[in-house]
A = this chain, B = another copy of it.
Amino acid sequence: MEKALLNVEGMSCGHCVKAVEGSVGKLDGVERVLVDLKEKTVAVEYKNDSVTLDKIKETIEDQGYDIV
C-alpha cells in the first residue's frame, strides 16, 4: 500500500469534497481518500499495482482542480 499527500488548489466547499473524494474513491486500487479543505490537501492510500499516482492526479484535475 502506498500513501500520498497532494496539495490541491481550488477546493472550496462541501461539493468540492464530494467531487474529489467521489471520483478518486471510485478508482480501482484506491483504498482511502480524504480531503482537507482547510489544509488544501488530498490524502490517498492506494495499491500501486492497480493504480498510479499520475492517474489519481489526473482524476483530480479532471474535476477542475490544480495539483500544486
A64 to B13, CA, bound (A): 10
State the majority secondary structure of interface residues on A.
helix
User: How many copies of the polypeptide does the oligomer hold?
Assistant: 2
Interface string of A14-47 (1 = CB under 8 A from B): 1110110000000000000000000000000000
Q: Report which of B10, B13, B64 forms a contact with A16, defined as CB distance below 8 A.
A: B13
Of the candidates A10, A15, A18, the one having the most CB atoms from chain B within 10 angstroms of its own CB is A15
- Name the distance in Å between A18's Cβ and chain B's nearest Cβ: 8
Q: Can you list 11 pairs linking A and B with CB atoms under 8 Å apart? A: A10-B13, A12-B12, A12-B13, A13-B13, A13-B15, A13-B16, A14-B64, A15-B15, A15-B16, A15-B18, A15-B19
